[in-house]
Structure 1
């Protein structure tokens, strides 16, 4: 990023959280700016929103955060859906709608999330991909504030954020629901940071648990009523996935007492194996849903693309399935790849999974994961028919039925879909719903849908079936053109100010590379401890996706017992083989203007 580069102008389809005003870089001159390239389906992007909140508070009069929403899924291109997401996730800074990916290209972003830092004079000074950059950003902003205050080029003042009207109604972006003994319903009222008990009609409030961010919940999602024998031993009835706090909590329905049962509160930044670990000491990552399977609680650990297990009696946790690589690969559960698993439903010998970022329905049986419907990270749509041709769009919920079929909350298609494993076909049960995020089949056989963006529970009429002639979509990010044969993959990483690479536990660097289709990569697959890799691309495969996972461990320079930090990013880079193209692919994990 040397010589110095002027930041490209902020041009998009529209703005949110500005009171209708369109902002330019000239309007923000004199402030430090962080541009946060995000898409609202992406769990890592949601993590970054949480990492940025303390920075916005600390540097409120000197820093402006601008969210640049560059969508992955077709549904995310809808301005109304974006406005709902900004409200849902409590985004308290301006957001520009980059629906045509113009700014994404102008700032050379290649991953969600990507952060770009602009100094008070309008120059781009840093770019970084992934999460875990809060400490480094704080140090960088400190440097920029000191420098530009001394130069007279820093101008403090009120920011451009304009708050939207306060929401009304009983529920606000509910997430998941379960039925309690006696027929009452328990709902995670995610945007109100609470768990709500409703009467069987789904509309009458019985009581509310929590209600303020972090006291004790922050955007809770999954709920699980434990077997009675387990309840009698441990003293609580329901496990709650406290998603943004990265914890599990136990809820005693008789007393209303809420107990922390798993999670340190720190987001996952390291490795955990399948062996038992102390539940309260473990770092979790956005637990999104829960199921009782194989005599333990299974956790959809959306933030790191895995399933974990939790033993409420022994108070231990471990990895159940997945490697943390974000992609779609079946096989023995320790080796599989998932992408933001967000819905679970167990029945008999099968655990069904809504794997949202691959738009897939998957299941575990006898220690092996299978894909029933779904084709990969970038293929989605609303297509019924044979399972190998059917498509979903970012499903978040799943419910196994007594007849062996499965209902899917096909969230971004606004539909409830049904998979019939006997016929091996997918059909549409209902459509026109507002981001359905979960499905509850009650003891009496009623089907309730958590219609999240409509802030309600909806009861499906019996026998409703619709035939939808839907569309097939593929994420069309601008691909990287690369020459066939030998190319160099170069992941760029510069430690944050005041940090150095941390070698006390071995190599601080790790790089894992694979490809889809696998034939694209003739050489260079695997894991090494360097951030540069020689790859050999197959000239007979015209295009594909390089899957790159990079991480770098750093520690503080200026403290006797300095903190350790792990920066990690997972790229899926679409590439096109082109004989006239470069033979180098640079990816910025963290880059600074020299």
Structure 2
């Protein structure tokens, strides 16, 4: 089919020019449907970078930003995110989801490939498609060079002016034993030690070049003195985009790799301890010392992991990798991009900012609870009773000595307070530019990492106001489905030069659940087939189907061919409609031509 036109609200990284498909004719296009809250979308940005470099004169990547959260509809916030995450290709602002619907996208991220003649030739959801994309691009280059329809040359990307500031999109901060502050300067790929005033640079760790050694670092945790003495380093750093943890020796400045192979996690979940350097991690976002070990907010796979600096092992602490909200014993809970951690003063509770469910949650005695939050698609800025209060994509959390909790309510531009005694939420400050962390110093000062303003600020004590703000739901078009038996089909075609890999059993895995659970009368669970009959409850008018699919492939044209795992987690909003279809197709990887 002919690719639909790219009609958006505006364009970034083009020097102000609005692009059309006619402007791009002769190039291979990869349309990357993303939203800047989505960790899987950030993974795909990293997967696309090598392809952009390799095929620079034949390939044009276009970011199609189709927002989930209300804050992401703000063009200023989108421009900041494009800089924050180093997006070096044109981006079209699809604020009204028009392009999303034209291309029938159903998941973040989704990739659509358009050939040089303007035809849509492939669609794929999720991450892990880089190798398959490379093979497809090679085939398209051969075909269209032979046809004379490929036009090599510079693309439409126009870089913005280079910014200047001490910090650039800082992520997290901790207080050091000497009273100085250590800040993850995420967009500068380094750590900055600042004096206690939060404004004077004392020293910097890292080269400020992506990957040397840091790549968008985030969380920091100071190890207990005895543990640090044995481990040989004082601070553990979540090196987020490298999918690793690093140790920092404050005396020598030495930076040591302590966990993570550097490969993003795409394997089965187990409860075993693994050698920390051999383990695959996935976007570790924050860290805390709890339960006599480092707890990792593993945002990329919606889990908590643990790391033992003495034994040099890691393992799963909580979560199943299903992206949703469900409480209970730690192995069985569902989380959604946990991004902030803090331990209560008595050490009994681990508080969690669970960003994609806009929730404040906590672990105590091996059980996870939700203090505030209602699910993947409910968010807003509402104070009051915890059962009615709403956040919007919080990234940071800080436990106070009195038992209350401060929340960096990032997409509301606010610092909020949860009182567990009254079970109420209030607003402390509603004029903060994308706060990403809150730090309470030993002296009781509250320091906020004001990420989008590229600075640290101090909060005035005792300022609290009640906000009766708006409640939002994601305006994602739901899928209308008939009640009763419905066929769920996940469509997967191996990439060129690959085949399904049966050497370790079935290469396919499909996990289905629902929220509310009553929506699904039959069909819940795990199977090794990408097609399944499910039964939808006619008495539940709407809900969300949680679908996790993965497919393992291997190369067919090499003696020692590589193995590849493609995986996607869909949260599909559905409406029960007697006139709706009885089939739900989801594309994991589909070829249209």
State the TM-score, normalizing by the size of structure 1.
Answer: 0.99
Could you tell me which of 5, 11, 14 is aligned with 2:7?
11
**Match in the other structure for 1:231:** 228
Deviations 1:170-208 (A, max 9, x none): 000000000001110000000000000000000000000
Match of 1:500 in 2: 499
Which residue of 2 is the match for residue 398 of structure 1? Answer: 397
Aligned to 1:414: 413
1:157-176 alignment, distance < 5 Å: 157-176=153-172
Structural mapping, 1:42-191, within 5 Å: 42-191=38-187
Question: 1:345-365, CA deviations, whole angstroms, 9 ceiling, x for partnerless residues?
Answer: 012211000000000000000
Question: Which residues of 2 match residues 246-265 of structure 1 at below 5 A?
Answer: 246-265=243-262
Q: How far 1:274 sits from its partner (Å)? A: 2.6
Conservation of the 8 A alpha-carbon contact between 2:9 and 2:92: yes
CA drift at 1:89? 0.2
Given that residues 491 and 586 in structure 1 are in contact (C-alpha distance below 8 angstroms), is that contact kept between their aligned partners in structure 2?
yes
TM-score by length of 2: 0.99
CA distance in 2, matches of 1:457, 1:153: 52
TM-superposed deviation, 1:272: 4.1
Q: Where do residues 438-453 of structure 1 align in structure 2 (5 Å cutoff)? A: 438-453=437-452
Structure 1 match to 2:285: 288
1:318 corresponds to = 315
Question: Does the Cα contact within 8 Å between 2:384 and 2:466 map onto a contact in 1?
Answer: no
**Which SS does the other structure have where 2:139 is aligned?**
helix
Q: Could you tell me which residue of structure 2 aligns to residue 520 of structure 1?
A: 519
Alpha-carbon distance in 2 for matches of 1:388, 1:441: 26
Q: Describe the superposition over 1:552-578 as per-residue Cα deviations: whole angstroms up to 9, x where unpaired.
A: 000000111111000000001111111
Report if aligned partners of 2:39, 2:337 keep a CA contact under 8 Å in 1.
yes
Alpha-carbon offset, residue 234 of structure 1 = 1.2
Please list the CA deviations of residues 84-120 of structure 1 after superposition, one character each: whole Å capped at 9, or x if unmatched.
0000000000000000000000000000000000000
How far apart are the structure 1 equivalents of 2:420 and 2:466? 18
What does the per-residue CA deviation read over 1:131-176, in whole Å, with 9 as the maximum and x for residues that have no partner? 0000000000000000000110000010000001101010000000
- Matched residue SS, 1:461: coil
Report 1:317-396 matches (<5 A): 317-347=314-344, 348-396=347-395
Aligned mate of 1:268, from 254, 265, 270: 265
Say which SS state the counterpart of residue 471 (structure 1) adopts.
Answer: strand
Q: Secondary structure at the match of 1:72?
A: coil
Q: Which string of whole-angstrom CA distances, capped at 9 and with x for unpartnered residues, describes residues 525-553 of structure 1?
A: 11100000001111111111111100000
Q: Name 1:578's counterpart in structure 2.
A: 577
Runs of 4+ residues deviating >4 angstroms = none
SS of 1:427 mapped into structure 2: strand
Shift of 1:519: 1.2
Q: Which residue of 2 aligns with 1:489?
A: 488
1:249 and 1:541 mapped to 2: Cα distance? Answer: 48
Deviates more, 1:120-129 or 1:472-481: 472-481
Partner of 1:424: 423
8 A contact 1:272–1:318 mirrored in 2: no
- Runs (5+) with no aligned partner, structure 2: none
1:463 Cα deviation after fit: 1.4
Which segment is superposed worse, 270-279 or 103-112?
270-279
- State the distance in 2 between where 1:509 and 1:480 align: 24
Look up the match of 1:243: 240
* 2:245/2:260 contact within 8 Å kept: yes
What CA distance in whole angstroms lies between the structure 2 residues aligned with 1:278 and 1:431? 44
C-alpha separation in 1, matches of 2:276 and 2:127: 24
Which secondary structure state, in structure 2, belongs to the residue aligned with residue 83 of structure 1? helix
> Shift of the alpha carbon at 1:467?
2.1
Contact 2:220 2:287 in 1 (8 A): yes
Hey, what's the Cα distance between the residues in 2 that align with 1:480 and 1:589? 17
How many angstroms apart in 1 are the aligned matches of 2:461 and 2:366? Answer: 35
* Cα distance between partner residues in 1 of 2:478 and 2:168: 38
Return the alpha-carbon distance in structure 2 between the equivalents of residues 380 and 47 of structure 1: 24
Q: 1:220 aligns to what?
A: 217
For 2:413 and 2:36, locate their aligned partners in 1 and report how far apart those are by CA, in whole Å: 16
Point out the more displaced range, 579-588 or 16-25: 579-588
CA RMSD of aligned residues (A): 0.6
The 2-side partners of 1:483 and 1:318 are apart by 42
- Residue 243 of structure 1: CA displacement? 0.2
Q: State the SS of the aligned residue for 2:272.
A: coil
Tell me the secondary structure at the aligned position of residue 44 of structure 2.
Answer: helix
Which residue is equivalent to 2:302? 305
- How many residues matched? 590
Q: Distance in 1 between matches of 2:89 and 2:455?
A: 27
Equivalent-residue separation in structure 1 for 2:159 and 2:112 (angstroms): 24
- Looking at structure 1, the residues matched to 187 and 296 of structure 2 have their Cα atoms a distance apart, in angstroms, of 21
